[in-house]
């Protein structure tokens, strides 16, 4: 049986593939979906898409990619809801709604998302959004708590880009606002550039 796997990035995709027992036993055949209007800016979106493409090539997985950069669609969907929490629930609904519709159109009965590997995401909200989208489209959302999956196939993700923040411009601000150390990476033998 096929399962559509919405992928936000290569590393979370590898964890999802490693965490789903049915995939490991080859009972489920994953088909990967890339549709992430929440990832900004454009260069970051391209880097993550490229990494997902490379992983799918390595794993010989079919990739159904929406290669439209969705900044404006995402901001339109938020409609001024910029605070974390409500913003993320809109984001989940946007992406899982797409995944459910894509699964339905492709005749794939099951779908899930790589978001279920993240310790930073709201799992209850992901599950609610996935089940709602599944119900609306006549496909089944598969939820598993895959936080802490360790037996990832290192060959699949070797040298692939790994992001530093969740995706949207708001999450980028939340990630980096409390620190400036990323501007001044330590260099051996030299004092830190941001030292007093
Ligand atoms: S923080 Fe992540 S889940 Fe929340 S809105 Fe931004 S990209 Fe979406």
Tens digits of per-residue pLDDT, 127-171? 999 999 999 999 999 999 999 998 999 999 999 999 999 999 999
- Choosing from 78, 170, 172, 174 the residue with most ligand 1 atoms within 8 A of its CB, the one to mutate for a pocket test is 170
Q: What is the CATH number of the domain that holds 75?
A: 3.40.50.620
Atom 6 of ligand 1: nearest residue by CA position: 168
Q: How many domains does the chain have?
A: 1
pLDDT in tens, 9-44: 999 999 999 999 999 999 999 999 999 999 999 999
- Residue 84 in domain: yes
Whole-prediction pTM: 0.93
Q: Is residue 190 part of a domain?
A: no
Which residue segment(s) compose the domain that 67 sits in?
2-183
Count of CB atoms situated within 10 Å of the CB of 19: 22
Q: How far is the C-alpha of 137 from the C-alpha of 101, rounded, in Å?
A: 6
């Amino acid at each position: 049986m096929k399962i559509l796997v919405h992928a936000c990035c290569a590393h979370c995709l590898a964890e999802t593939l490693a965490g789903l027992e049915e995939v490991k036993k080859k009972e489920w055949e994953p088909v990967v979906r890339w549709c992430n209007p929440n990832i900004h800016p454009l260069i970051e979106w391209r880097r993550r898409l490229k990494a997902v493409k490379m992983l799918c090539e390595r794993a010989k997985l079919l990739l159904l990619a929406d290669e439209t950069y969705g900044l404006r669609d995402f901001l339109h969907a938020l409609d001024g809801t910029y605070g974390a929490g409500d913003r993320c629930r809109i984001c989940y609904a946007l992406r899982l709604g797409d995944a459910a519709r894509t699964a339905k159109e492709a005749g794939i009965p099951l779908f899930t998302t790589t978001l279920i590997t993240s310790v930073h995401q709201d799992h209850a909200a992901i599950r609610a959004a996935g089940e709602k989208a599944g119900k609306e489209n006549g496909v089944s959302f598969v939820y598993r708590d895959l936080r802490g999956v360790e037996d990832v196939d290192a060959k699949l993700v070797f040298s692939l880009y790994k992001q530093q923040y969740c995706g949207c411009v708001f999450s980028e601000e939340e990630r980096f606002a409390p620190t400036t150390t990323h501007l001044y990476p330590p260099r051996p033998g030299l004092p830190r550039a941001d030292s007093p």
